[in-house]
């Protein structure tokens, strides 16, 4: 009887040990299949690898020689602190005397776009430059090293009726010197947004010597 009791106790202990061993093995298996908590998910790692730096598109220098080759107009550099639609304005615009290696005139900053057009005799250069919602032209007298401003929007609009009156909030005026009638007279193309939202455009001639509009 005593032997039978000892056998039963032995079997009970043996089964208990087997059961505990099985539980421990299952726990180890589960732990092995669970990812470590400090592992970075693939999607997160992919996002981290993408650069967040802003790509700045450097402006290409624009140059234009006078008809006689004595002077060079250029738009140079990039202003990286402001942008519009991913574009950056030029740092400045200047005119060189090539023979003397001298800057005759300069302006800072330049526009988002810049273009030059010389008078036939090379004594004046028309400069067109743009902002985000406007475009303006000036003329530089090379001999006098002076800037000549063109008439403003209000003055040009006064030649036309009320039906083409510029919009007050967003007239978006653009005045571009597109050519020269002669060595003293610039051809200016213009457009603006009317009060009703439509666009109005036209052209006038401007004598840079007498500072008069030639219609």
Which domain does 25 fall in, by range? Answer: 2-49
Do 68 and 22 belong together in one domain?
Answer: no
CATH number at residue 140: 2.40.128
Question: Do the domain assignments include residue 55?
Answer: no
- 37 lies in the same domain as 114: no
101 lies in a domain? yes
Q: pTM for the complete prediction?
A: 0.74
Q: Indicate the number of domains in the chain.
A: 2
User: In b/e form, how buried is each residue of 127-153, taking b as 16+ CB within 10 angstroms?
Assistant: bbbbeeebbbbbbbbbeeeeebebbeb
Gap between the terminal Cα atoms of the chain: 133
pLDDT (tens digit, 0 to 9) for every residue of the chain, 215 residues total?
555 556 555 565 655 645 555 544 444 444 445 444 444 444 444 434 444 556 788 999 999 999 999 999 999 999 999 998 889 999 999 999 999 999 999 999 999 999 999 999 999 999 999 999 999 999 999 999 999 999 999 999 999 999 999 999 999 999 999 999 999 999 999 999 999 999 999 999 999 999 999 97
């Amino acid at each position: 009887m005593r032997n039978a009791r000892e056998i039963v106790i032995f079997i009970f202990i043996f089964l208990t040990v087997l059961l505990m061993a099985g539980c421990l093995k299952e726990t180890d298996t589960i732990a092995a299949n669970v990812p470590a908590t400090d592992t970075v998910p693939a999607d997160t790692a992919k996002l981290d690898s993408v650069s967040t730096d802003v790509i700045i598109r450097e402006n290409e220098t624009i140059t234009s020689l006078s008809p006689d080759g004595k002077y060079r107009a250029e738009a140079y550099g990039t202003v990286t602190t402001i942008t519009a639609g991913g574009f950056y304005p030029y740092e400045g615009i200047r005119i060189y005397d090539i023979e003397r290696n001298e800057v005759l005139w300069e302006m800072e900053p330049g526009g988002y776009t810049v273009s030059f057009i010389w008078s036939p005799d090379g004594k004046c250069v028309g400069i067109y430059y743009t902002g985000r919602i406007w475009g303006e032209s000036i003329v530089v007298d090379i001999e006098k090293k002076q800037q000549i401003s063109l008439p403003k929007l209000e003055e040009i609009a006064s030649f036309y009726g009320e039906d083409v009156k510029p919009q007050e909030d967003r007239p978006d005026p653009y005045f571009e010197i597109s050519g020269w009638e002669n060595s003293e007279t610039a051809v200016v193309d213009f457009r603006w947004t009317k009060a009703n939202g439509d666009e109005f455009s036209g052209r006038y001639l401007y004598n840079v010597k007498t500072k008069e509009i030639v219609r």
